[in-house]
Amino acid sequence: MYQVLIVDDEPIVKIALRSMIDWNELGFHICATASNGEEALEMACRFHPDLIICDLKMPLMDGIELIREVRKKKLDCEFLVISNYEDFNYVRTALVLGAADYILKVSISPEELTEQLKKLKEKLDQKAAEDAKQQRSIQETMLHQERHAAWREFFTNRNYEFDTLLGVTGFVPEEQDTYALCQISFDWYDQNMEPLPSIDLIQSTLKNALEPFDRRRIILFSTSNTLLVLPESELKQHQYTISGLASRIIQLFQYYMSLSPAILYQSGIPDLPQARTVYHNFQDLLELGFYGPLGQVQADALSVSQEIPDISYKELAAEILLVPEEERLTRASDRIQALLAACQQHNVLPSRVIQYCVRFLGELEYHTADLSAAAHDQIADSTETMRNALTREELERYLSDALRAFFSREPLAEPPAESYSPEVEQALSYIRNNYSRKISLASVSEHVGLSSGYLCRIFKEETGISINTHINQLRMARAEELLKDRNSYIKEVAISVGFEDQLYFSRLFKRYHGVTPSEYRTLGHT
């Protein structure tokens, strides 16, 4: 039953409209009446009628203004306006504002009103059907999103209960069926593509490859990673193996987008909880892309190692420091190259390799007493960028820079007296305003919006010194000024220039000034 609001300043018109037809038989119910536009607007907000029948000329607020105000309040209703012969301009305005139709007050008859209401009911019925369809679509979309989120959560979160997944998704595992798992991953850093392909293009390419399979499940995490879960009975039905499907996927991506994804796959998985374990093993295997493109890999034929082969970082540092000084750079470079090759051969996790290299540099520095301040800062730069190395080549480059700082006797380049690029200017400004706080190469890079490795390179090319050197030069200069105040504590000075560790501050101060902060004061620098 559609609700109707009748608005007219003449009581006799309202009475006539109420009594001349059987409203209920036509599917309408008069929920309220009003005598002017202001009263009608209040009633409309209260009762939310589906249809408003209103006079165009009324006191306080006419019909035109009422239509405008109802539209402003986004009340979803139809208008049927009542007019006189001389109200043609009003009628035209009302129709422009969205009124469904009009009837002349002097000639209102039961037949005409009935005909108008039948047309309006058809329109309201169609609108209701469209609204219902849209609501069902929204509900279906929300249900699909909820189920998709449940699958994603199940695979990524080891603590997500299997029974919860079944309850949310309504999935019923097939008895005696086993599963095949396939993960497609893109290393966009390695692909060097600009701009990146859209997620729609990636999805359509995958759907092309998976078109024959009805019971597959695509769990799309991002443009970088897609996980496929397929019952093996489905693969057999279409005379596929999971390795054959992986080959098909690679062919399609190379054909449509000239891309070479890494694809990990495994078959014979007894159930979904075990499939989740396999997925997490995939994530460790994907790290091996650090050493070079993975291509197509049968996951259960490959394993990763946590152990660094050959020698501990302390033993390696001691070995390097025992050789003559002029041979140390060559020996260190050769030993690192051999170590990284052994790590690649044994599939050592890159995170473990990077950790080893960082500790190796720290051990070298600990046993190198005569290291200059500039060399110290270069090593600090290399160490920080090394932590974020994405490939073996990057790690080797950062290590090479650090080893040259330790053992090379080449003089440091003088800063060029030229203007700087906007990115370097931005970095210099940020450092100048924040060096007294705890900042790092990572925070400077994030502020500028460049990778730490790239920023380091252009900063040193343009200024002649590393970012850490520039930060420490500013800090040491400020520390000199603060130490002239004999009432200040050295710990306070360290904190004031961005160091939480007083011992580290003292060691660095000595590298720059040849004496400790305490000795600096004792020597009369006030």
pLDDT at 506 over 90: no
According to the model, what pLDDT value does residue 412 have? 46
Select the highest-mean-pLDDT range: 76-90, 338-352, 360-374.
Answer: 338-352
pTM, entire model: 0.61
Does the pLDDT of residue 50 top 60, yes or no? yes
Q: Which domain holds residue 392?
A: 313-407
- pLDDT tens for 443-476 read 888 888 888 878 888 888 888 888 888 888 888 8
pLDDT number for residue 526: 53
Model confidence pLDDT, tens digit, residues 474-483: 888 888 888 8
pLDDT of residue 143: 76
My answer on whether 255 and 350 are in the same domain is no
Contact partners, residue 407, CB within 8 Å, separation at least 6: 325, 328, 329, 332
Q: Judge if 340 and 395 occupy the same domain.
A: yes
What HEC string does 19-63 produce? HCCCCCCCCEEEEEEECCHHHHHHHHHHHCCCEEEEECCCCCCCH
User: Do 475 and 383 share a structural domain?
Assistant: no
Residue 209 and residue 276 in one domain: yes
Q: Are 61 and 41 in contact (CB under 8 A)?
A: yes
Q: Is there a domain that residue 208 lies in?
A: yes
Q: How far apart are CA 249 and CA 230, in angstroms?
A: 14
Contact in structure between 509 and 517 (CB atoms under 8 Å): yes
Please, which pLDDT band fits residue 525 given cuts at 50, 70 and 90?
A: low
pLDDT digits (tens, 9 = 90+) for 231-263: 998 889 889 999 999 999 888 888 877 778 889
* Burial status of residue 44 (CB atoms within 10 A of its CB: 0-12, 13-18, 19 or more): buried
Indicate whether 162 belongs to any domain: no
The pLDDT of residue 213: 82
pLDDT in tens, 388-443: 888 899 899 889 988 988 887 555 444 454 678 888 889 898 988 888 888 888 88
Mean pLDDT for the chain? Answer: 86
Q: How far apart are CA 369 and CA 506, in angstroms?
A: 14
Neighbours of 67 (CB within 10 A): 23
pLDDT of the residue at 414: 47
Predicted confidence at residue 220, as pLDDT, reads 63
Task: State the amino acid at position 75 in one-letter form.
Answer: L
Closest by CA to 401, choosing from 342, 343, 332, is: 332
Token digits for 372? 């200059």
Structure tokens at 27: 């599917």
Structurally, the chain folds into a number of domains equal to 4
Q: Do 62 and 6 share a structural domain?
A: yes
Domain boundary among 372, 407, 442: 407
- Kindly tell me if the per-residue pLDDT of 486 is higher than 50: yes
